[in-house]
């Protein structure tokens, strides 16, 4: 069952192309590492900011080509140039940083009106949601003007809450 994007991609081509975008320090690279190792990331060290776009091949029971895009304001102009190729887009939002939510809402709104994204699945992921000082789902949902389906990853399995 599922959304259909994965079965469609696996039958018509051998690689699912995933683009991950979001503001800087939103946890995009940590999310990629989590996908790459199939384990929940508990990264405590600082990540180096991604400049431009980094592509990573991830092979599990399916092949993924993941594009990790830099999130600094001066780098977001490249997002539209890579948005015509992915099968799915992940938009990462730091669930601990209230000061960046308005910028995240603006960046997400820009993506939602992009012609290259018509009929492309876009998933908003709240990162760092396992931390104590995270914002509530209601705060995130209201500030970003979203309807939320609550999902969490716990011990390598997907749980719908």
For the stretch 28-82, pLDDT in tens is 888 888 777 765 555 544 555 665 566 777 777 778 888 877 766 766 666 776 6
In percent, the amount of the chain with pLDDT more than 70 equals 65
Instruction: For residue 142, give its domain range.
Output: 5-40+51-160
For residues 116-140, give the mean pLDDT.
84
Q: What is residue 76's predicted lDDT score, i.e. its pLDDT?
A: 65
Which parts are annotated binding residues? 22-29, 50, 71
What is the pLDDT at residue 113?
84
Cα separation, 155 vs 129, whole angstroms:
14
- Domain total in the chain: 1
Give a yes or no: residue 46 inside a domain. Answer: no
Average pLDDT rounded to a whole number, residues 150-160: 49
Is 18 part of any domain?
yes
pLDDT recorded at residue 92: 92
Is residue 9 in some structural domain?
yes
Q: What is the pLDDT of residue 40?
A: 55
The pLDDT of residue 153 is 55
55 domain residue, yes or no: yes
In sequence order, the β-bridge partners of residue 122 are 89
Better pLDDT: 3 or 83: 83
45 assigned to some structural domain: no
Percent of residues, the chain, with pLDDT higher than 90:
3
Average pLDDT, the chain: 73
CATH of the domain at 102: 3.40.50.300
Residue 98 has what pLDDT? 83
Say if CB 32 and CB 92 are below 8 A apart: no
For residue 134, what are the contacts with CB-CB under 8 A and spacing of at least 6? Answer: 95, 96, 126, 128
Compute the distance between CA of residue 98 and CA of residue 104 in angstroms, rounded to an integer: 10
Residue 70 lies in a domain: yes
Q: Which residues are annotated as a binding site for GTP?
A: 22-29, 71
Which residues are annotated as part of the binding site for Mg(2+)?
29, 50
Bridge partners, residue 151, by sequence: 160
Higher pLDDT: 145 or 50? It is 145
């Amino acid at each position: 069952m599922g959304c259909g994007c994965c079965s469609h991609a696996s039958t018509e081509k051998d690689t699912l192309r995933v683009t991950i975008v979001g503001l800087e320090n939103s946890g995009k690279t940590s999310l990629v590492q989590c996908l790459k190792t199939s384990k929940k990331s508990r990264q405590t060290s600082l990540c180096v900011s991604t400049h431009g776009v980094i592509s990573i091949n991830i092979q599990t029971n399916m092949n993924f080509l993941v594009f990790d895009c830099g999130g600094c304001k001066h780098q977001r102009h490249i997002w539209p140039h890579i948005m015509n190729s992915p099968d799915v887009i992940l938009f990462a939002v730091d669930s601990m940083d209230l000061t960046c939510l308005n910028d995240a809402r603006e960046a997400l709104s820009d993506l939602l009106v992009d012609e290259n994204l018509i009929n492309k699945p876009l998933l908003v992921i709240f990162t760092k949601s396992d931390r104590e000082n995270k914002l509530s789902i209601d705060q995130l949902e209201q500030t970003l003007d979203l309807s939320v389906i609550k999902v969490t990853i716990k011990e390598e399995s997907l749980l719908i809450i």
